[in-house]
Amino acid sequence: MADEDTGDTEDTEDTGADLIAAYDYQLPPELIAQTPIEPRDASRLLVLHRQTGAIEHRAFRDIGEYLAPGDLLVANQSKVLPARLHGVKESTGGQVEILLLAARPDIGADCWEALVRPGRRLHEGQRLHFDDGALTAEIVGRTPSGERLLRLTPSEGTLEDALTRIGETPLPPYIHAKLANGERYQTVYAHDPGSAAAPTAGLHFTPELLASVRAQGVKVAFITLHIGLDTFRPVSEERLAEHKMHSEAISVDAETADLVNATRASGKRVVAVGTTTVRALEAAAQRADALRSRGALPNGDVVAPVEGRTALFIQPGYRFRAVDALITNFHLPRSTLLVLVSAFASRELILRAYEEAVRERYRFYSFGDAMLIL
Protein backbone atom coordinates (compact mmCIF):
# COMPACT_ATOMS: atom_id res chain seq x y z
CA MET A 1 0.00 0.00 0.00
CA ALA A 2 1.32 3.45 -0.85
CA ASP A 3 2.33 5.84 1.89
CA GLU A 4 -0.40 8.28 2.80
CA ASP A 5 -0.37 11.60 4.64
CA THR A 6 -3.60 11.57 6.62
CA GLY A 7 -3.80 15.19 7.61
CA ASP A 8 -7.50 16.00 7.32
CA THR A 9 -9.58 17.03 10.28
CA GLU A 10 -13.12 18.32 10.66
CA ASP A 11 -14.52 21.75 11.44
CA THR A 12 -14.25 23.04 14.97
CA GLU A 13 -17.34 24.15 16.86
CA ASP A 14 -17.86 27.94 16.76
CA THR A 15 -17.82 28.38 20.54
CA GLY A 16 -14.37 29.81 21.20
CA ALA A 17 -12.88 26.31 21.17
CA ASP A 18 -10.93 27.29 18.05
CA LEU A 19 -8.73 29.68 20.08
CA ILE A 20 -5.61 28.25 21.72
CA ALA A 21 -6.18 30.57 24.70
CA ALA A 22 -9.17 28.39 25.56
CA TYR A 23 -6.79 25.52 26.40
CA ASP A 24 -4.85 27.16 29.20
CA TYR A 25 -4.70 26.40 32.91
CA GLN A 26 -2.54 27.25 35.90
CA LEU A 27 -0.16 24.58 37.18
CA PRO A 28 2.06 24.99 40.25
CA PRO A 29 5.61 24.15 39.10
CA GLU A 30 6.09 21.67 41.93
CA LEU A 31 3.43 19.42 40.38
CA ILE A 32 5.58 18.77 37.29
CA ALA A 33 6.93 15.27 37.96
CA GLN A 34 10.73 15.17 37.73
CA THR A 35 11.24 11.45 38.32
CA PRO A 36 9.18 8.33 37.59
CA ILE A 37 7.30 6.70 40.44
CA GLU A 38 8.13 3.13 41.46
CA PRO A 39 6.70 0.71 40.66
CA ARG A 40 5.24 1.93 37.39
CA ASP A 41 1.63 1.04 38.21
CA ALA A 42 1.75 2.85 41.59
CA SER A 43 0.90 6.11 39.84
CA ARG A 44 -2.48 7.67 40.51
CA LEU A 45 -5.40 7.39 38.11
CA LEU A 46 -8.11 10.01 37.67
CA VAL A 47 -11.16 8.37 36.08
CA LEU A 48 -13.38 10.76 34.14
CA HIS A 49 -16.85 9.67 33.02
CA ARG A 50 -17.91 11.66 29.97
CA GLN A 51 -21.62 10.94 30.22
CA THR A 52 -22.07 12.10 33.80
CA GLY A 53 -19.00 14.25 34.45
CA ALA A 54 -18.23 12.13 37.51
CA ILE A 55 -14.61 11.87 38.66
CA GLU A 56 -13.01 9.03 40.62
CA HIS A 57 -9.56 8.89 42.20
CA ARG A 58 -7.85 5.50 41.95
CA ALA A 59 -4.44 3.89 41.48
CA PHE A 60 -3.29 2.88 38.01
CA ARG A 61 -3.00 -0.76 39.08
CA ASP A 62 -6.84 -0.67 39.30
CA ILE A 63 -7.19 -0.09 35.55
CA GLY A 64 -8.52 -3.63 35.00
CA GLU A 65 -11.64 -2.78 36.99
CA TYR A 66 -12.69 -0.46 34.15
CA LEU A 67 -12.03 -2.96 31.36
CA ALA A 68 -14.36 -5.77 30.31
CA PRO A 69 -13.84 -9.11 28.55
CA GLY A 70 -13.80 -8.52 24.81
CA ASP A 71 -12.47 -4.96 25.08
CA LEU A 72 -9.37 -4.16 23.04
CA LEU A 73 -6.44 -2.24 24.55
CA VAL A 74 -4.28 -0.62 21.83
CA ALA A 75 -0.86 0.87 22.65
CA ASN A 76 1.99 2.58 20.82
CA GLN A 77 5.06 0.32 20.69
CA SER A 78 7.44 3.00 19.40
CA LYS A 79 10.80 3.03 21.17
CA VAL A 80 12.67 6.19 22.11
CA LEU A 81 16.01 6.49 20.41
CA PRO A 82 19.06 7.72 22.34
CA ALA A 83 18.81 10.60 19.91
CA ARG A 84 20.73 13.43 21.59
CA LEU A 85 24.31 13.62 20.33
CA HIS A 86 27.27 15.84 21.25
CA GLY A 87 30.07 16.26 18.72
CA VAL A 88 32.27 18.66 16.79
CA LYS A 89 32.28 20.38 13.41
CA GLU A 90 34.78 18.83 11.02
CA SER A 91 35.90 22.23 9.73
CA THR A 92 36.60 24.03 13.01
CA GLY A 93 36.33 21.55 15.86
CA GLY A 94 33.57 23.70 17.38
CA GLN A 95 31.07 22.00 19.69
CA VAL A 96 27.69 20.93 18.28
CA GLU A 97 24.59 19.21 19.64
CA ILE A 98 21.86 17.53 17.62
CA LEU A 99 18.53 15.99 18.54
CA LEU A 100 17.20 13.51 16.00
CA LEU A 101 13.48 14.04 15.50
CA ALA A 102 12.28 11.82 12.67
CA ALA A 103 13.69 9.42 10.10
CA ARG A 104 13.39 10.69 6.53
CA PRO A 105 13.63 7.65 4.24
CA ASP A 106 12.09 9.81 1.50
CA ILE A 107 15.46 11.58 1.30
CA GLY A 108 17.67 8.52 1.65
CA ALA A 109 18.83 5.72 3.90
CA ASP A 110 19.84 6.87 7.42
CA CYS A 111 18.60 10.42 6.73
CA TRP A 112 17.02 12.27 9.63
CA GLU A 113 15.35 15.52 10.50
CA ALA A 114 17.04 17.12 13.52
CA LEU A 115 17.29 20.11 15.79
CA VAL A 116 20.85 21.45 15.81
CA ARG A 117 22.84 23.82 18.02
CA PRO A 118 24.28 26.29 17.16
CA GLY A 119 21.75 26.38 14.33
CA ARG A 120 22.82 29.58 12.58
CA ARG A 121 26.36 28.29 12.12
CA LEU A 122 25.51 24.90 10.64
CA HIS A 123 24.90 24.98 6.90
CA GLU A 124 24.33 22.53 4.06
CA GLY A 125 27.42 20.54 3.19
CA GLN A 126 29.00 20.75 6.63
CA ARG A 127 30.10 17.53 8.30
CA LEU A 128 29.89 16.73 12.01
CA HIS A 129 31.74 14.04 13.95
CA PHE A 130 30.60 12.24 17.09
CA ASP A 131 32.64 10.08 19.45
CA ASP A 132 35.90 10.51 17.50
CA GLY A 133 34.30 9.55 14.22
CA ALA A 134 32.18 6.63 15.39
CA LEU A 135 29.35 8.50 13.72
CA THR A 136 29.45 11.20 11.03
CA ALA A 137 26.61 13.50 9.99
CA GLU A 138 26.42 15.55 6.81
CA ILE A 139 23.91 18.40 6.57
CA VAL A 140 22.02 17.84 3.32
CA GLY A 141 19.22 20.40 3.66
CA ARG A 142 16.72 22.09 5.93
CA THR A 143 12.97 22.00 6.45
CA PRO A 144 10.62 24.99 5.95
CA SER A 145 10.47 25.40 9.75
CA GLY A 146 14.26 25.47 10.12
CA GLU A 147 15.22 21.96 11.22
CA ARG A 148 18.23 20.40 9.49
CA LEU A 149 18.20 17.30 7.32
CA LEU A 150 21.15 15.01 8.08
CA ARG A 151 22.69 11.96 6.45
CA LEU A 152 24.20 9.79 9.21
CA THR A 153 27.04 7.35 8.61
CA PRO A 154 28.36 5.04 11.36
CA SER A 155 32.00 3.96 11.10
CA GLU A 156 30.88 0.36 11.71
CA GLY A 157 27.69 -1.56 12.33
CA THR A 158 24.21 -0.08 12.00
CA LEU A 159 23.04 3.40 12.86
CA GLU A 160 20.95 1.99 15.72
CA ASP A 161 24.08 0.31 17.12
CA ALA A 162 25.99 3.60 16.96
CA LEU A 163 23.20 5.56 18.64
CA THR A 164 22.94 2.96 21.40
CA ARG A 165 26.67 3.34 22.10
CA ILE A 166 27.05 7.11 21.99
CA GLY A 167 23.61 8.74 22.16
CA GLU A 168 21.73 10.09 25.16
CA THR A 169 18.02 9.61 25.84
CA PRO A 170 16.35 12.98 25.27
CA LEU A 171 14.05 14.09 28.08
CA PRO A 172 11.43 16.84 27.73
CA PRO A 173 12.69 20.34 28.61
CA TYR A 174 10.50 20.55 31.73
CA ILE A 175 12.33 17.60 33.34
CA HIS A 176 15.49 18.85 35.03
CA ALA A 177 16.44 15.82 37.12
CA LYS A 178 18.90 13.32 35.65
CA LEU A 179 17.33 9.96 34.84
CA ALA A 180 19.14 7.16 36.67
CA ASN A 181 17.75 4.40 34.44
CA GLY A 182 17.05 5.19 30.78
CA GLU A 183 14.63 2.24 30.55
CA ARG A 184 12.19 4.17 32.75
CA TYR A 185 11.60 6.48 29.78
CA GLN A 186 10.58 3.45 27.69
CA THR A 187 7.38 1.46 27.89
CA VAL A 188 7.81 -2.21 28.82
CA TYR A 189 6.52 -3.15 25.36
CA ALA A 190 8.67 -0.67 23.36
CA HIS A 191 9.79 -2.42 20.19
CA ASP A 192 10.18 -0.18 17.11
CA PRO A 193 12.98 2.43 17.47
CA GLY A 194 12.21 5.86 16.08
CA SER A 195 10.72 8.29 18.61
CA ALA A 196 12.19 11.49 20.00
CA ALA A 197 9.92 11.20 23.06
CA ALA A 198 8.14 8.39 24.88
CA PRO A 199 4.43 7.58 24.47
CA THR A 200 4.08 8.37 28.15
CA ALA A 201 0.58 7.02 28.83
CA GLY A 202 2.07 3.55 28.45
CA LEU A 203 4.79 4.11 31.06
CA HIS A 204 2.36 3.05 33.79
CA PHE A 205 1.99 -0.53 32.57
CA THR A 206 4.09 -3.36 34.02
CA PRO A 207 4.40 -6.83 32.44
CA GLU A 208 2.37 -8.20 35.33
CA LEU A 209 -0.43 -5.66 34.85
CA LEU A 210 -0.62 -6.43 31.14
CA ALA A 211 -0.76 -10.15 31.91
CA SER A 212 -3.57 -9.52 34.41
CA VAL A 213 -5.55 -7.52 31.86
CA ARG A 214 -5.16 -10.27 29.27
CA ALA A 215 -6.19 -12.90 31.82
CA GLN A 216 -9.54 -11.14 32.33
CA GLY A 217 -10.31 -11.47 28.62
CA VAL A 218 -9.08 -8.10 27.35
CA LYS A 219 -7.19 -8.26 24.05
CA VAL A 220 -4.01 -6.21 23.58
CA ALA A 221 -2.76 -4.89 20.24
CA PHE A 222 -0.10 -2.43 19.10
CA ILE A 223 0.40 0.35 16.59
CA THR A 224 3.53 2.37 15.91
CA LEU A 225 3.67 6.15 15.79
CA HIS A 226 7.14 7.66 16.01
CA ILE A 227 6.79 10.78 18.13
CA GLY A 228 8.48 13.85 16.72
CA LEU A 229 8.76 17.60 17.02
CA ASP A 230 5.22 18.58 18.04
CA THR A 231 5.69 16.95 21.44
CA PHE A 232 8.21 19.72 22.23
CA ARG A 233 6.47 22.58 20.41
CA PRO A 234 3.54 24.49 21.96
CA VAL A 235 0.91 26.00 19.70
CA SER A 236 2.02 29.57 19.01
CA GLU A 237 -0.77 30.58 16.63
CA GLU A 238 -3.86 32.25 18.06
CA ARG A 239 -6.31 30.05 16.17
CA LEU A 240 -6.10 26.27 15.97
CA ALA A 241 -6.85 26.37 12.25
CA GLU A 242 -3.57 28.22 11.72
CA HIS A 243 -1.43 25.56 13.44
CA LYS A 244 0.38 23.18 11.12
CA MET A 245 1.07 19.77 12.63
CA HIS A 246 4.48 18.22 12.08
CA SER A 247 3.88 14.89 10.32
CA GLU A 248 4.94 11.67 12.02
CA ALA A 249 5.50 8.13 10.77
CA ILE A 250 2.73 5.66 11.60
CA SER A 251 2.02 1.98 11.08
CA VAL A 252 -1.27 0.20 11.76
CA ASP A 253 -0.89 -3.36 10.49
CA ALA A 254 -3.59 -5.69 9.20
CA GLU A 255 -3.70 -7.73 12.43
CA THR A 256 -4.42 -4.68 14.59
CA ALA A 257 -6.92 -3.31 12.06
CA ASP A 258 -8.78 -6.64 12.07
CA LEU A 259 -8.89 -6.65 15.88
CA VAL A 260 -10.26 -3.10 15.98
CA ASN A 261 -12.93 -3.93 13.41
CA ALA A 262 -13.92 -7.14 15.18
CA THR A 263 -14.11 -5.37 18.55
CA ARG A 264 -16.31 -2.59 17.24
CA ALA A 265 -18.51 -5.08 15.39
CA SER A 266 -19.06 -7.04 18.63
CA GLY A 267 -20.14 -3.93 20.52
CA LYS A 268 -17.06 -3.94 22.77
CA ARG A 269 -14.73 -0.98 23.32
CA VAL A 270 -11.45 0.06 21.77
CA VAL A 271 -9.35 1.62 24.54
CA ALA A 272 -6.42 3.71 23.30
CA VAL A 273 -3.30 4.01 25.43
CA GLY A 274 -2.20 7.57 24.75
CA THR A 275 -2.95 10.37 22.33
CA THR A 276 -0.49 8.99 19.79
CA THR A 277 -2.49 5.77 19.61
CA VAL A 278 -5.65 7.81 19.11
CA ARG A 279 -4.07 9.67 16.19
CA ALA A 280 -2.83 6.45 14.58
CA LEU A 281 -6.20 4.69 14.90
CA GLU A 282 -8.14 7.69 13.68
CA ALA A 283 -5.74 8.02 10.73
CA ALA A 284 -6.50 4.36 9.99
CA ALA A 285 -10.20 5.22 10.15
CA GLN A 286 -9.69 8.01 7.63
CA ARG A 287 -7.83 5.53 5.44
CA ALA A 288 -10.88 3.25 5.66
CA ASP A 289 -13.17 6.14 4.68
CA ALA A 290 -11.02 6.84 1.62
CA LEU A 291 -11.02 3.18 0.55
CA ARG A 292 -14.76 2.85 1.14
CA SER A 293 -15.46 5.89 -1.03
CA ARG A 294 -13.77 4.03 -3.89
CA GLY A 295 -15.66 0.82 -3.18
CA ALA A 296 -12.45 -0.89 -2.04
CA LEU A 297 -13.48 -1.70 1.55
CA PRO A 298 -16.53 -3.36 3.14
CA ASN A 299 -18.96 -0.96 4.80
CA GLY A 300 -18.55 -2.65 8.19
CA ASP A 301 -14.82 -1.96 8.56
CA VAL A 302 -14.05 1.01 10.80
CA VAL A 303 -10.29 1.12 10.14
CA ALA A 304 -7.91 -0.08 7.44
CA PRO A 305 -4.19 -0.82 7.63
CA VAL A 306 -2.08 2.26 7.02
CA GLU A 307 1.64 2.78 6.60
CA GLY A 308 3.05 6.24 6.04
CA ARG A 309 2.90 9.60 7.77
CA THR A 310 0.12 11.52 9.46
CA ALA A 311 -0.35 15.19 10.23
CA LEU A 312 -3.82 14.62 11.71
CA PHE A 313 -4.74 17.39 14.16
CA ILE A 314 -7.73 16.32 16.26
CA GLN A 315 -9.66 19.22 17.76
CA PRO A 316 -13.19 19.90 19.03
CA GLY A 317 -15.71 19.10 16.34
CA TYR A 318 -13.86 15.97 15.23
CA ARG A 319 -16.00 12.82 14.96
CA PHE A 320 -14.14 9.89 16.52
CA ARG A 321 -14.56 6.70 14.54
CA ALA A 322 -12.24 4.13 16.12
CA VAL A 323 -11.67 4.99 19.81
CA ASP A 324 -14.16 4.50 22.65
CA ALA A 325 -12.02 5.18 25.75
CA LEU A 326 -8.65 6.79 26.38
CA ILE A 327 -5.82 6.34 28.86
CA THR A 328 -3.66 9.45 28.89
CA ASN A 329 -1.35 11.59 31.03
CA PHE A 330 -1.90 15.23 32.00
CA HIS A 331 -0.73 17.52 29.21
CA LEU A 332 0.87 20.94 28.88
CA PRO A 333 -1.32 24.03 28.55
CA ARG A 334 -1.86 25.27 24.99
CA SER A 335 -0.68 21.97 23.51
CA THR A 336 -2.13 19.90 20.67
CA LEU A 337 -2.40 17.01 23.15
CA LEU A 338 -4.66 18.99 25.47
CA VAL A 339 -6.72 19.99 22.44
CA LEU A 340 -7.09 16.32 21.46
CA VAL A 341 -8.34 15.15 24.86
CA SER A 342 -10.69 18.15 24.90
CA ALA A 343 -12.11 16.96 21.59
CA PHE A 344 -12.64 13.54 23.13
CA ALA A 345 -14.33 14.63 26.37
CA SER A 346 -15.24 18.33 25.83
CA ARG A 347 -13.01 21.24 26.74
CA GLU A 348 -15.09 22.27 29.75
CA LEU A 349 -15.03 18.78 31.25
CA ILE A 350 -11.29 18.34 30.70
CA LEU A 351 -10.42 21.70 32.26
CA ARG A 352 -12.64 20.89 35.25
CA ALA A 353 -10.87 17.55 35.65
CA TYR A 354 -7.48 19.30 35.45
CA GLU A 355 -8.57 21.75 38.17
CA GLU A 356 -9.52 18.76 40.32
CA ALA A 357 -6.17 17.10 39.63
CA VAL A 358 -4.33 20.25 40.71
CA ARG A 359 -6.39 20.45 43.91
CA GLU A 360 -5.66 16.79 44.63
CA ARG A 361 -1.93 17.29 43.95
CA TYR A 362 -1.63 14.89 41.04
CA ARG A 363 1.75 14.70 39.31
CA PHE A 364 1.76 16.17 35.79
CA TYR A 365 3.36 15.53 32.40
CA SER A 366 5.66 12.74 31.20
CA PHE A 367 6.53 11.10 34.55
CA GLY A 368 3.23 12.12 36.13
CA ASP A 369 -0.05 10.40 36.90
CA ALA A 370 -2.67 9.14 34.47
CA MET A 371 -6.25 9.81 33.46
CA LEU A 372 -8.80 7.31 32.13
CA ILE A 373 -11.54 8.92 30.03
CA LEU A 374 -14.60 6.68 29.67
CATH architecture of 20-80+181-373: 3-Layer(aba) Sandwich (3.40)
* Cβ contact 309:104 at 8 Å: no
Q: What is the pTM of this model?
A: 0.91
pLDDT tens digits, one per residue of 160-212: 899 989 999 888 889 998 888 889 999 999 999 999 899 999 999 999 999 99
| Gap between the Cα atoms of 146 and 283, Å rounded | 27
Q: At what angle do helices 275-293 and 254-265 cross, to 10 degrees?
A: 90
| Domains 20-80+181-373 and 84-166 belong to one CATH topology | no
The alpha carbons of the chain give a radius of gyration, in whole angstroms, of: 21
At 203, which amino acid appears?
A: L
Peptide bond connecting 39 to the previous residue in cis, omega within 30 degrees of 0: yes
Question: pLDDT by residue (tens digit) across 100-127?
Answer: 988 888 889 899 999 998 877 788 999 9
What is residue 59's predicted lDDT score, i.e. its pLDDT?
Answer: 98
Is residue 5 scored above 60 in pLDDT? no
Question: What CATH number does the domain located at 84-166 have?
Answer: 2.40.10.240
Note the pLDDT tens digit of each residue in 142-152: 988 788 999 99
Domain ranges of the chain: 20-80+181-373, 84-166
Q: Burial level of 93, CB count in 10 A (0-12/13-18/19+)?
A: exposed
Q: Which residues pair with 372 in a beta bridge?
A: 47, 327
Residue-wise pLDDT tens digits, 55-81: 999 999 999 999 999 999 999 999 999
Question: In the structure, what pLDDT confidence band is assigned to residue 89 with cuts at 50, 70 and 90?
Answer: very high
